[in-house]
Structure 1
């Protein structure tokens, strides 16, 4: 069986840069990663609060922030040793592929599935 290596929430926000500043000020967060698209939108950032990682991204690419929808969108993110195997196991168990696992420009392989209960799970594998 594929080993699960990490689990963390990924928050969708209207302004990731401002959210990182807020988490830094409010919770003493340390920014540990930030990736942006060509337009400058944050597609993935990570902060450490205490010993826990929280990821976040700007809304877009099909994801909306709670300030836009009134709901609490959180993407659960799994770091795994074999992203393709987890995607296959999840779809065999009834999940729907949102974004197929593929090589990512920031390195690694990643994709996303929606479980039968409406929750989305990002599956990522470090390759570099």
Structure 2
């Protein structure tokens, strides 16, 4: 949990002691950058491959559809109960790094891994290896991996098991 510390009587403490204010976050929305001018294609892929739902679309306030630079800035999609922003990686992008799909793996949970991998492959993803299971797999679950046409790796896993501490 994040906290903010303010000093002095203006902060609400008559004795001048520091008062701690709690900051609450309402969501985490990862931002995924795709190759220049391919946001719409990527969103269509995520809808087809993973059943994503488009929540919001943001266009550039000063660009017109006939300009070279992209009109579309980002699209918010929903996968399950999570949201992801899909954004264009252009020269004037606000992306902190200019590499597409670097250092990110998204994990999707489902009971039917085979069907999910097949659906993603039919939509244009490439399966990465076989579905693994047991101790060698991530988090001791069944896992399949696909790489989407934009370079992003998606792990498709069975839901995490509840950990139960048993004392001997």
Instruction: Give the TM-score normalised by the residue count of structure 1.
Output: 0.48
The one of the two structures with greater contact order (alpha-carbon pairs below 8 A, sep at least 6) is: 1
Greater radius of gyration (CA): 2
Name the structure where strand makes up a greater proportion of residues: 1
Instruction: Give the TM-score normalised by the residue count of structure 2.
Output: 0.38
